[in-house]
Amino acid sequence: MQTGEIIAMTDKYVMNTYSRIPIAPVTGAGARLYDADGKEYLDFTAGIAVNSTGHCHPKVVEAICRQAAELLHVSNLYHIQRQAELARVLAEASGLDKAFFCNSGAEANEAAIKLARRYSRVSGRSEAYEIITASGSFHGRTLGALTATGQAKYHEGFEPLVPGFAYVPFNDLAALEAAVTEKTCAVMLELIQGEGGVHPIDPEYLAGLSRLCKEAGILIIIDEVQTGIGRTGTLFAFQQYPGFKPDIVTLAKGLASGVPIGAVLATAEAAKGFAPGKHASTFGGNPLACAAALATLDVIVNDGILCNVREVGAYMQQRLEELQAASGLIAEVRGCGLMLGIELKEAKGAAVVGACRDRGLLINCVGDKTLRFVPPLIIQKSDVDEAVQILASVLLEAL
């Protein structure tokens, strides 16, 4: 099928929930995608931070094929070897103790919300159910995760929302302190707000938040759906803050290189909130997804990917800052590792994204002004040079 035929079929049969870009990728390799008409693209979106090992990494493909030939699904009524192995790897790598598996980041955040609320009940704080989140946050599209999201534009049309959430400005410790009450059971934050515009957390704010929560007996939930699994240069972004340890961490996007999976990691204490019958997932932690995740982690941890993220990420940030200085069109460059954003001085992000696509570079825009770069973690400096060259030419014409 050609691109036009695929677009027509999508328009006819698929619900209209995305303003889709008019290309139809059909194959991929590494950091490259190829559409139904044979056009090549340099992919700096990676399925929105999902294709962590690139497209069709041989080790991941092999693991998926091998597992598919052995066992796809048996449900969590039984013990699942690959699931147990993945839980062990994640627990040992994170310093947390227990894992729960589901199918997406939104599901992981829903599970974390339920875990925090129920932990309050079993720990004797029966009045505590409220969760504080940050303005500008994004935690998913299911109703609970949507309510946790601190952006009104995502709430519109879905009211009434789930009760029990409060929002405070990001990186404002005084506002957080003022929001805490006897009803507060947890604080839920991203360490870099992705959909909010690639805004990193202030280390001093995080340290103050940690002290506050520990003193008040409040759980800390860190949403690493986008930052997790090497995106920032360490396996988990929270590991870049010495002495900081969350109670609950949520993961998804980059965990299995594109196979749907979500995970919740928790301390043994926080994990007491769950018991048989209190939460579940039919497909969560199935053998196929866990095999893909194990292969992904093997590649990232043992094939030098974390070092590559730090080195190439720093190089890309430098190139973008050089472009900022040379063009005068960029207000700010921010981010960490291979999760970077540039804020344009003018609200022409969509036009820049479209022009880059026409020249073979895939990026995306959050809001009107912020361009987001979340490429596969295997990209090289030569890929960065190519991307920045395209972006520079587009900026000079579009702005």
Q: Is 59 a catalytic residue?
A: no
What is the rounded distance in angstroms from the CA atom of residue 354 to the CA atom of residue 352? 5
Lookup: tokens for 26: 């059909």
CB burial string 161-174: b at 16+ within 10 A, e below: eeebbbbbebbebe
- Return the H-helix or E-strand segment holding 116: helix 105-122
Q: Is 138 a catalytic residue?
A: yes
E strand map for 203-261: 219-223, 248-251
From 44, 253, 274, 373, active-site residue? 253
What is the rounded distance in angstroms from the CA atom of residue 50 to the CA atom of residue 219? 27
From 44, 100, 101, 138, active-site residue? 138
From 223, 274, 373, 383, active-site residue? 223
3-class secondary structure, 159: coil
**Which residue matches tokens 């599970």?**
111
Evaluate whether 349 touches 327 at the Cβ level (below 8 Å): no
What is the rounded distance in angstroms from the CA atom of residue 35 to the CA atom of residue 232? 29
E strand map for 191-273: 192-193, 199-200, 219-223, 248-251, 262-266
3-class secondary structure, 90: helix
Q: Is 170 a catalytic residue?
A: no
What is the rounded distance in angstroms from the CA atom of residue 140 to the CA atom of residue 264? 14
**Which residue matches tokens 């990494």?**
57
Q: Which residues are catalytic?
A: 138, 223, 253
